[in-house]
């Protein structure tokens, strides 16, 4: 898959992605906020349906992200943002592959949850058998479980961060998209770490005024996903150019 080469960028680009996302948001703030509100309302309505609703929300996430990427790319190319492009992830031909990516997300999350639950059960069972809930092994087990959870979250984030863009713009299969996203994410761990830290700080600030700041911050971060993808993989409409590294 030679057209899926990726760049290794500097750590400082993580901050630049957020700044560039803000520039895209500023071009059409009402539409960006509108699509966020629309998705939140839809998620709330779906959540009223027991079990199925929660599954549907998770399965739709990749389709939402696919539309966000296409909408942000339109803006970056000088065209106005449109609701149609933001919703394009729910339409053919992208609907099916993005839905399958959503299924993969859900399956990975379930496996992660089961692994953490198993670790907790083993740790608790050891403590019960020893007759001392303050047993050293219980404390160590708790720490190991926490570290395992953190490691799985990092791996999941790396494998899924670029995956929607690879499906939408490169036509990658689900497994290939996850693998290449992980490879590119690992190569750009510094930039993603800076991005994550800055995003968390901004989120804390945005929550101060009754969480209303999230109405602005969330669309900015959504738009920034395109900025990160185009920076690492290049603008699909311009070709990959002279990208420096690739995955065999």
| Sign of the dihedral through C-alpha 57, 182, 108, 141 | negative
pLDDT at 129: 64
Q: Rounded mean pLDDT of 142-170? A: 90
pLDDT at 141: 65
Question: What is the Cα–Cα distance from 22 to 16, expressed in whole angstroms?
Answer: 10
Higher pLDDT, 239 or 126: 126
Question: What is the Cα–Cα distance from 107 to 65, expressed in whole angstroms?
Answer: 18
pLDDT at 8: 95
pLDDT at 109: 87
Question: What is the Cα–Cα distance from 133 to 164, expressed in whole angstroms?
Answer: 44
**Residues 207-220: pLDDT tens digits?**
987 888 999 999 99
Q: Rounded mean pLDDT of 224-242? A: 78
Residues 6+ positions from 87 with CB-CB distance below 8 Å: 35, 67
Q: Tell me the percentage of the chain whose pLDDT exceeds 70.
A: 86
Q: Tell me the percentage of the chain whose pLDDT exceeds 90.
A: 62
**Residues 12-56: pLDDT tens digits?**
999 999 999 999 999 999 999 999 999 999 999 998 998 888 889
Residue 82, pLDDT > 90, answer no
pLDDT at 137: 55
Question: What is the Cα–Cα distance from 8 to 190, expressed in whole angstroms?
Answer: 10
How many Cα atoms occupy the beta-carbon half-sphere of 173 within 13 Å?
3
Q: Rounded mean pLDDT of 57-72? A: 93
Residue 248, pLDDT > 90, answer no
Q: Rounded mean pLDDT of 170-178? A: 95
> Where is 47: in which H helix or E strand?
helix 29-47
Residue 246, pLDDT > 60, answer no
| Predicted structure pTM score | 0.86
Residues 6+ positions from 15 with CB-CB distance below 8 Å: 194, 195, 198
What are residue 245's DSSP bridge partners?
A: 6
Residues 6+ positions from 173 with CB-CB distance below 8 Å: 97
pLDDT at 83: 85
Among the ranges given (110-114, 170-174, 195-199), the one the predictor scored with the smallest mean pLDDT: 110-114
pLDDT at 112: 86
pLDDT at 4: 46
Q: Cα dist. 181→162, 236, 242, 248 in Å?
A: 5, 16, 19, 13
């Amino acid at each position: 898959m030679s057209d899926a080469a990726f760049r290794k960028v500097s750590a400082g680009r993580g901050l630049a992605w957020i700044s560039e996302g803000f520039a895209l948001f500023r071009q059409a703030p009402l539409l960006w906020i509108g699509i966020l509100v629309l998705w939140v309302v839809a998620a709330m309505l779906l959540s009223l349906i027991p079990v199925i609703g929660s599954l549907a929300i998770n399965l739709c996430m990749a389709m939402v992200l696919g539309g966000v990427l296409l909408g942000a790319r339109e803006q970056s190319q000088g065209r106005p943002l449109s609701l149609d492009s933001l919703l394009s992830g729910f339409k053919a031909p992208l609907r099916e592959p993005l839905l399958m990516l959503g299924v993969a997300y859900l399956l990975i999350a379930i496996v992660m949850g089961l692994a953490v639950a198993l670790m907790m059960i083993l740790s608790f069972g050891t403590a019960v058998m020893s007759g001392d809930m303050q047993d050293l092994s219980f404390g160590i087990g708790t720490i190991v479980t926490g570290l395992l959870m953190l490691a799985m979250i990092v791996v999941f984030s790396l494998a899924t961060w670029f995956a929607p863009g690879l499906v939408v713009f490169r036509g990658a299969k689900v497994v290939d998209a996850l693998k290449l996203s992980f490879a590119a994410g690992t190569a750009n761990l510094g930039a993603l770490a800076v991005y994550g830290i800055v995003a968390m700080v901004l989120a804390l600030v945005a929550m101060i005024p009754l969480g209303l700041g999230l109405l602005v911050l969330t669309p900015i971060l959504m738009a920034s996903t395109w900025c990160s993808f185009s920076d690492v993989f290049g603008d699909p409409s311009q070709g990959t150019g002279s990208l420096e590294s690739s995955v065999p």
